[in-house]
Chains A and B, each alone.
Chain A
Amino acid sequence: MLPDWLSPGEWQAVALSLQVSFWAMLCSLPLGILVAHALARWRFPGRQVLNMLVHLPLILPPVVTGYLLLLTFGRRGAVGQWLDQWFGIVLAFRWTGAALAAAVMAFPLMVRAIRLSIEAVDPRLEQAAATLGAPRPLVFLTVTLPLILPGILAGAILAFAKAMGEFGATITFVSNIPGQTQTLPSAIYSQLQVPGGEAQAGRLVLVAIAVSMGALLASEWVSRAVARRVAG
């Protein structure tokens, strides 16, 4: 009975949203950890500029971010043209483009959560590891990384939830093509454009709320469990 509750096209939108959010979260995670570590621990010229760039999607109108993505990664865009020519990768108007847009929009939240957890790690523990013979990359792997695991998981789930809700940049960059780039928020938007579509939109809204709440609860639960294990 559940499948009848939403039309096949709408189930497709939900599935696509989950897919897009999952890949957006997974692919941006390594970069997010790196950038968070750089912002928290490294001193280099341009640190403030990097900080601003990371936070830009948070303050720009999403439609501007989407348009900038289109200019850069569209078929005629500098990077998009290059990706297409050399790797045959096209992002504009594909689900991969939706994942890119979601990743960019969720990136500041992910970096903030991870950065906070890195700043909470006592650098004197990392010094102690160095005096015990651990080179820097191994200090990170054996001391820093296990200690920031709760922050990484929280950042990842936050990014996933944000990606689930991404609308403005996505619709600008990859449009709203049912079955290809129509994510859950786009589907809700489409329903609201149709006279009498409110009931259908309402059901989709319930799904969106359930997924977001579930992600939030999972993040709380996972980070608490990990924090317990890490603190011993």
Chain B
Amino acid sequence: MSLSVRLTHGLGAFVLDAAFDAPDGVTALHGPSGAGKTTLVNAVAGLLRPDAGRIAVGGTILLDRQRRIDLPPHRRGVGYVFQDARLFPHLSVRQNLLFGRWFAARGGRTGGPDLPAIAELLGIGGLLHRRPAALSGGEAQRVALGRALLARPRLLLLDEPLAALDDARKAEILPYLERLRDIEGLPILYVSHSAPEIRRMATTVIRLERGRVTGQGTPARMLPDPAGTPGVEWGVSLRHSRDGIAVLDSPAGPLRIAGPVGRGPLRLRIRADQVLIARQPPQGVLARNILEARVIGALPDDAGLLRLQAGGGMLLARLPDPGDAPLEGAQVHAILTAEPEVIG
């Protein structure tokens, strides 16, 4: 189910003139404040009528000014999670969650996850009888997400759903969003100006600047991390630590880093320029981590970046010369030339 957007809209001196086609998955809308991200999302939801344009989700045309098609918001089937949760204060959490359900059934959209399933997915089963005023920011945002999902949307809009939350609350919600992406397979348009969030969530990044689309591509290409280098993130856990060295269980087997590290799950970031590839088993190399890996191939949009499969994990390696790339399927040894960075 792809999302196709072309629209022009003038707001005083500001002109939004954006066009893009996004494939399945999570499409991140990225750009500085005032770039027109929320305006664009509001147009997709039907809360704002653009001067001209066409918006389609899959085969359904939501808006086509030329053909005088403009579905009202309530008939677009677009779930919208706002920056502020916007829960109805006079209804209980349960009533909030079920608000869109009846309308969805009336519109012929039935099936999909029901209330218990959503409550389980989002961890809000214990809140059903509360009033929105009695919820924390993170809880309210999860309820808002559940409310949007239970309305059986064909597209989910997330407008900086984590912006109002502190880091602890963000860490609480991000896994739910990831589960949503992986389990529900619902197309998502995700507005954020947080690069780490987008790297973690998105399949496609659209960069919006001063009302125009200035780039589109994979997160690795569009949002290289602050060091200017793409990389991968792994979930790991501490096996044991001895003499100041922590041994971590990673998808590619044990990894050694200088401790101390906390117990419980950690996230590591391994940058592509930290990975040196050896065709032969390296001899006399003083490195803490040397991983067995298999070459998958160069990235389609960057021939100098090689993707490797190391055990159950994916690695990116920066090649000194793209012409030197080993053949696909070749067994190599990935030498980590620097410590992987613990990012959370």
A contact set with B: CB distance below 8 Å: 122, 124-125, 127-136, 138-139, 142-143, 146-147, 229-232
Contacts and interface: CB of A to CB of B under 8 A. Distances in A.
B74 A134 contact: yes
Contacts of A147: 89-90
B90 A232 contact: yes
B56 to A, nearest CB: 18
Contact of B100 (A127, A132, A135): A132
B32 interface: no
Contacts of B100: 132-134
Contacts of B92: 232
Nearest to A232: B131
B103 A133 contact: yes
B82 A135 contact: no
A129 B78 contact: no
A142 B46 CA distance: 20
A128 B132 contact: no
A170 to B, nearest CB: 38
Contacts of A134: 74, 99-100, 103
Given A127-B47, A131-B45, A132-B74, 16 more contacts: A122-B86, A125-B89, A128-B80, A128-B88, A130-B46, A130-B72, A131-B73, A132-B147, A133-B100, A133-B104, A134-B99, A147-B89, A147-B90, A229-B90, A231-B90, A231-B131
Interface string B31-65: 00000000000000111000000000000000000
A128 to B, nearest CB: 4
Contacts of A138: 103
Interface in B211-245: none
A128 B82 contact: yes
Q: Which 9 A-B pairs have the closest CB atoms?
A: A232-B131, A133-B103, A132-B100, A130-B73, A131-B80, A128-B86, A230-B90, A146-B90, A132-B151
A232 B135 CA distance: 11
Interface string B80-123: 10101010111010000001100110110000000000000000
19 contacts: A122-B86, A124-B82, A124-B84, A125-B88, A128-B86, A130-B72, A131-B46, A131-B148, A132-B99, A132-B100, A133-B75, A134-B74, A147-B90, A229-B90, A230-B89, A231-B90, A231-B133, A232-B90, A232-B92
A78 to B, nearest CB: 40
Contacts of A130: 46-47, 72-74
Contacts of B103: 132-134, 138
Given A231-B133, A232-B131, A131 B90 contact: no
B133 A129 contact: no
Interface residues of B, number: 32
Query: Max chain B CB contacts within 10 Å: which of A133, A146, A230?
Result: A133
Contact of B86 (A124, A142, A229): A124
Contacts of A143: 88
Contacts of B72: 130, 135
Interface of B: 45-47, 72-80, 82, 84, 86, 88-90, 92, 99-100, 103-104, 106-107, 131-134, 147-148, 151
Given A127-B47, A128-B80, A232-B133, A133 B90 contact: no
A143 B77 CA distance: 19
B86 A125 contact: yes
Contacts of B73: 127, 130-131
Contact of B79 (A129, A131, A230, A232): A131
Contacts of A229: 90
Contacts of A122: 86
A135 B106 CA distance: 12
A147 B91 CA distance: 10
Nearest to B150: A132
Contacts of A231: 89-90, 131, 133
B92 to A, nearest CB: 8
Contacts of B76: 131
